[in-house]
Amino acid sequence: EALVENASQAGNYLQDELSKLNGIKEIRGRGLMLGIDPAPEYSDIRDKLLFKSHIFTGGAKNNVMRLLPPLSVKKEEIDIFLKETKKLLEV
């Protein structure tokens, strides 16, 4: 597997798609290692992703959502995360 190349391409795709979402204030990081700052009104998105969508993200308190998917992550898996995140930001 071309893990480094996949991580770069998948990370670029993920960052591009996240930047289009309302409710995302800032995205930091490189490749697939990202820190995402939601807008204050969406500070509980990490908990909602876990309890409503069964998607685990890391982070401290409610101000940063940390993503560390495997380097072999597929576009389809990223799309699931994006779909669930978008759903929660539209509520």
Domain, as residue range, for 48: 3-89
Q: Measured between alpha carbons, how far is residue 49 from residues 38, 65, 81, 84 in Å?
A: 13, 10, 9, 7
- Considering 10-14, 40-44, 52-56, the range whose residues carry the highest mean pLDDT is 10-14
Mean pLDDT across 11-32: 94
Residue 11 in this model has a pLDDT that exceeds 90: yes
What pLDDT does 14 receive? Answer: 96
CA 91 from chain centre, in angstroms, equals 17
Number of domains composing the chain: 1
CATH number at residue 78: 3.90.1150.10
